[in-house]
Amino acid sequence: MSIEGKTRVLILSAPSGAGKSTLVNHLLSRGLPLEFSVSATSRKPRGGEKHGREYYFIAADEFRRRIEAGEFIEWEEVYRDHYYGTLKSEIVRITMAGMIPLFDVDVKGGLNLKKIFGSSALAIFIMPPSVEELKQRLIRRATDSEEKIAMRVEKACMEIELADRFDMVIVNDDLSRACNEIETVVSGFLRNE
Ligand code: ADP
Ligand code: 5GP
């Protein structure tokens, strides 16, 4: 089965801390025919994360072996020694179940997926109100060390410059407004066969 071409997909990308997971969870709670595409990663689980739910957690060596075997449609070394990627088998699993894959990927990965799926994909960039607010959200979220937060903020500045390559930019300032906006846009995309 070819997973490119006409397969309709939804891509959400954002700098870390912009509120992408929050908006993804909102969309997934709305009874739309969307299913979260579980990525593989070589980073360790955080907090209550479970293998097969947030990610497929695999060791870096195993990750590299599966890259060589051509099992990923896209992958990135998002942070040093931290690989993330989308398994082709995950897209087949979701589309075979009659659902539309929702990709929560970094900005480079989102643009790569948009290139692959073309007009069958809706690629949305979630924009933080400002870099300072993004930093504050990461500090408040309290899941990353000071060093990791600094790395994520630095990367965010480069990622924001790529926003206009996406089909649409949604500013996550007021959360309920951003939730309504994304739901409206995505519902429209899902209605258009
Ligand atoms: P990402 O998945 O992009 O890294 P999260 O969804 O984890 O970001 O959001 C980062 C933090 O900011 C979380 O603690 C979340 O609750 C909070 N957050 C999300 N959206 C908003 C918003 N509009 N205003 C204030 N805080 C927000
Ligand atoms: P986190 O470690 O916070 O879960 O994720 C770090 C970054 O990796 C986020 O921007 C997330 O969207 C991204 N990411 C997650 N899965 C994938 C994937 O399959 N491919 C790519 N390119 N990035 C991913």
Q: Give 19-55 pLDDT, tens digit per residue.
A: 999 999 999 999 999 999 999 999 999 889 999 999 9
pLDDT per residue over 134-169, tens digit each? Answer: 999 999 999 889 999 999 999 999 999 999 999 999
Q: Return the residue whose CA atom lies nearest to atom 7 of ligand 2.
A: 106
Domains and CATH numbers, the chain: 9-191 (3.40.50.300)
Round the average pLDDT of the chain to a whole number and report it. Answer: 94
Ligand 1 centre to CA of 69 (Å) is 36
* Ligand 2 atom, smallest distance to 43 CA: 2
pLDDT in tens, 96-117: 999 999 999 999 999 999 999 9
In order, the DSSP letters of the chain are ---STT--EEEEE--TTSSHHHHHHHHHTTT-SEEE--EEESSPP-TT--BTTTEEE--HHHHHHHHHTT-EEEEEEEETTEEEEEEHHHHHHHHHTT-EEEEE--HHHHHHHHHHHGGGEEEEEEEPS-HHHHHHHHHHHT-S-HHHHHHHHHHHHHHHTTGGGSSEEEE-SSHHHHHHHHHHHHHHHHH--
* 175 CA closest ligand 1 atom index: 23
pTM recorded for the entire structure? 0.93
